[in-house]
Amino acid sequence: MKIKIAALISVLVLTGCATNRSPPVDVRLIPNDCANRTMIINYLTQEAAQPRGTFESERDYERHRAEIRQRIWVMRYHCQPV
């Protein structure tokens, strides 16, 4: 019985470590901080360039990338008015 529990725990730990991508960031929470605009846009660009995760569906991946691109556009629009 103890061997089964140890094996189950080992499988769960290895499965958790197998995913190399962190959960998606809710980009709507990022403020329009024009003083740090460059840093925020660079971070969002890096997030958008991440490859699709092993267990992430194509639909979720594209939706997340669209949210990031929208947030970058909003930052640029808000911080560079014409």
Residue 4 lies in a domain: no
Residue 17 lies in a domain: no
Residue 38 pLDDT = 92
Residue 54 lies in a domain: yes
pLDDT in tens, 37-61: 999 999 999 989 989 888 888 998 8
- The answer to whether residues 30 and 73 touch, using CB atoms and an 8 Å cutoff, is no
Residue 68 lies in a domain: yes
Residue 28 lies in a domain: yes
Taking 80 as the threshold, does the pLDDT of residue 29 lie above it? yes
Residue ranges in 1-82 assigned as alpha helix (H): 2-18, 37-48, 58-79
Number of structural domains (the chain) is: 1
Q: Which domain holds residue 40?
A: 23-79
Residue 16 pLDDT = 56
Give this prediction's pTM.
0.65
Average pLDDT over residues 16-26: 57
Residue 69 lies in a domain: yes
CB-side neighbour CA atoms (13 Å) of 30: 22
Residue 34 lies in a domain: yes
Residue 13 lies in a domain: no
Interhelix angle 58-79/37-48, nearest 10 degrees:
160
- The answer to whether residues 37 and 79 touch, using CB atoms and an 8 Å cutoff, is yes
